[in-house]
Amino acid sequence: MQTPSGNTNSAVDTGLVLRIAAVGTTAVLTLYNGSDNPLKVLSHVDADDRHYDWFRIILAGTTETRLLHLYDDRDESGRVIVDLSPGASLAHVIDVVAWAKRKANGAKPLTPGSYRMSATYEVSDPAPVWNGRLESPAVNITIP
């Protein structure tokens, strides 16, 4: 994947970093292992399409603030765990406009305009994976 240009920031917690970048109307959410040890992370859920159960996107605009859940109805699914070596990263490209229209997010389109966008990654799981909560700083995104 190409490294996106534009706004990129990160928040650090126990070696795992959550980075966010705005590329057009997509959010690039990246988990980066900044520790000296390998980490197991919950990446996504394979359903009819990919769901990102442990991620949330917050869009704060002048006329509205939206919290986007990155999961939806599904009949079958399988979670994907990824081994992140020290210095390795895992990126997910999220179509913010499409996710806003999903049932889990009120099936309502985003109001056009400028937003401050941030994300969280939160895991509380008995499996031997990274557990905790990360928050990214905010970046600018414009919805046409």
Longest pairwise C-alpha distance within the chain: 43
CA gap 36, 68 in Å, rounded: 32
- The answer to whether residue 2 sits within a structural domain is no
pTM of the model: 0.88
- The answer to whether residue 3 sits within a structural domain is no
Computed over every residue of the chain, the mean pLDDT equals 90
Tens digit of pLDDT for each residue in 64-86?
Answer: 999 999 998 877 788 999 999 99
Angle value at C-alpha 88, between 26 and 14, nearest 5 degrees: 95
> Within 13 A of 23's CA, how many CA atoms are on the CB side?
16
CA gap 16, 39 in Å, rounded: 8
- The answer to whether residue 85 sits within a structural domain is yes
61 pLDDT band, cuts 50/70/90, is very high
CA gap 124, 127 in Å, rounded: 9
Q: Give the number of domains in the chain.
A: 1
- The answer to whether residue 26 sits within a structural domain is yes
For residue 135, the SS3 value is strand
Provide the residue range defining the domain that includes 116: 8-143
Instruction: Give the strand pairing for 113-123 and 139-143.
Output: antiparallel
The residue ranking higher by pLDDT, 119 or 12, is: 119
Tens digit of pLDDT for each residue in 23-55?
Answer: 999 999 999 999 999 999 999 998 888 999 999
The enclosing domain of 91 has a CATH number of 2.60.40
| Six token digits for residue 57 | 């996107």
- For residue 7, pLDDT beyond 80: no
pLDDT at 75: 76
129 pairs with which residues across the strands? none
Burial class, 73, CB count within 10 angstroms (exposed 0-12 / middle 13-18 / buried 19+): exposed
